[in-house]
Amino acid sequence: MGLRLSPWGTENVVEYKRLFKYFGIKPFSEVLKELSRITEPHMLMRRGVVFGHRDFDKVITALKRNEKFSILTGIMPSGRMHFGHKMVIDQVIYYQQLGAEIFIVIADAEAYAVRKLDRGEIVNLAINDYLANYLALGLSTRNLHVYFQTNYERDYYRLIQLFSRKVTMSELKAIYGEELDPGKLIAVLTQMADILHPQLESFGGFNTVLVPVGPDQDPHLRLARDVADRFSSELGLKRPASTYHKFLMGLDGGKMSSSRPESFIALTEPLESAGSKIMKSLTGGRPTAEEQRKMGGVPEKCPVFEMLTYHLVQSDEELERIYWDCKSGRMLCGECKLMAREKLLRFLEEHQEKLGRARGVASSIANIPGF
């Protein structure tokens, strides 16, 4: 595990190095060995997709001492859930199976006030797409709290109000930009409450809260840490722990994004469309087959290899074999894509079979806002 996979596990970390340097995020590799003494790390950790952390030691301590801990994650219901969204819930499910209490916030207030989405559509996407996908992926309803930002408990709202006393406009602008409007400001304070509320007695009094995110979310975490410090004596708040995972490359080479249909495959993608998208994907291949046989492919820059690494291949040995088959020029992109396509379709077929039931469960556990 871990170290063995370094050839393709650590190279990509280069681009995230500035996060270590400028923002104090620490390499996840530091805590990986310690975690592996307690339990098998998740494949995204072993493969370097989860590349950084803050205070993950707290989680390790909680695991060692068999103390309760909790995970906070969010759903931003804009666009359908795709594979670029899947890494976070895979980690959440992993922690849930290790005994963590799971808090999932549906960021409907932010979706409405900042992204200006329609409230009916927000609820529909959050429940029937995101949450249903989460459940179909294996999220259990045990130790699970799903809530809408606009429909939660009063202690949560009280946090938002109290926090407003100890943040300044200028620090928020430094983090979020000059064009900070009221909707964005409320959304930021609400996120602080999302991240910190599991520590309150009325929500379980969790001393350890871990927030697994992409690095773009780190500004929220940095602010949450500062806010926790400012309310440490008044409310007894502690800094949250966080981990950082790489973005999944889109099939067109950019970031996988709902705004470019050819870049993503949704978890609800019809099989035909999914198959066609992956066959049309960019790859890390060379201009000609001859060159590729001679020089080998570049899996580090290949969206298809990323799909395999992040999602489609469970066995590290198999992934390593594919890596070297590509790197050595033994396997060309056409063959690799067909193999990836088969894995993808098998996964989607199985997943989508579970979705109907999952939608029913999702509707039954979500406390849908009244107006």
- Three-state secondary-structure class, residue 211: strand
**Is residue 192 involved in binding its own copies (CB under 8 A)?**
no
Residue closer to its own copies by CB (options 137, 365) is 365
Q: How far is CA 369 from the centre of its chain?
A: 25
Among 140, 202, 273, 363, binds its own copies (CB under 8 A): 202
Q: Which of 6, 164, 328, 363 binds its own copies (CB under 8 A)?
A: 164
Burial bucket for residue 369 (CB in 10 Å: 0-12, 13-18, 19+): middle
Question: Which listed residue (162, 175, 332, 361) binds its own copies by CB under 8 A?
Answer: 162
Residue 172 binds its own copies, judged by CB under 8 A: yes
Which of 88, 78, 80, 84 lies closest to 132 in space, CA to CA? 80
Instruction: Give the interface segment with its own copies, choosing from 62-70, 109-117, 217-225, 269-277 (CB under 8 A).
Output: 109-117
* By the rule CB under 8 A, 120 interacts with its own copies: no
| Residue type present at position 40 | E
Of 56 and 147, CB closest to its own copies: 147
Q: Binding to its own copies by residue 180, rule CB under 8 A?
A: yes
Q: Is 200 in the site for its own copies (CB under 8 A)?
A: yes
Q: Least distance (Å) from its own copies to the CB of residue 186?
A: 4
> Which of 66, 182, 272, 364 contacts its own copies by CB under 8 A?
182
What are the residues whose beta carbons fall under 8 Å from the beta carbon of 154, sequence distance 6 or more?
A: none
In 10 A of CB 73, how many CB atoms? 19
* Binding residue (CB under 8 A) for its own copies from 149, 191, 208, 292: 149
161 near its own copies, judged by CB under 8 A = yes
> Which amino acid, 106?
I
Closest CA to 244 of 57, 15, 96, 27: 27
Interface region with its own copies, contact rule CB under 8 A, candidates 45-53, 74-82, 181-189, 276-284: 181-189
Binding letters toward its own copies, positions 234-253, x by CB under 8 A: -x------------------
Taking the least distance from each CB to its own copies, the nearer of 204 and 254 is: 204
Size of the site for its own copies (CB under 8 A): 39
CB neighbour list of residue 179: distance below 8 Å, 6 or more residues apart: none
DSSP helix/strand/coil, 118: coil
Is residue 326 within 8 Å of 260, Cβ to Cβ? Answer: no
**Sheet arrangement for strand 241-245:** 26-27, 50-54, 241-245, 209-213, 70-75, 101-106, 144-148
Q: Report yes or no: 298 and 240 within 8 Å, Cβ to Cβ.
A: no
Task: Choose the binding region for its own copies from 167-175, 203-211, 261-269, 325-333 (rule: CB under 8 A).
Answer: 167-175
* Residue numbers at the binding site for its own copies (CB under 8 A): 109, 112-114, 116, 149-155, 157-158, 160-162, 164-165, 167-169, 172, 180-183, 185-187, 189-190, 200-202, 235, 369-371
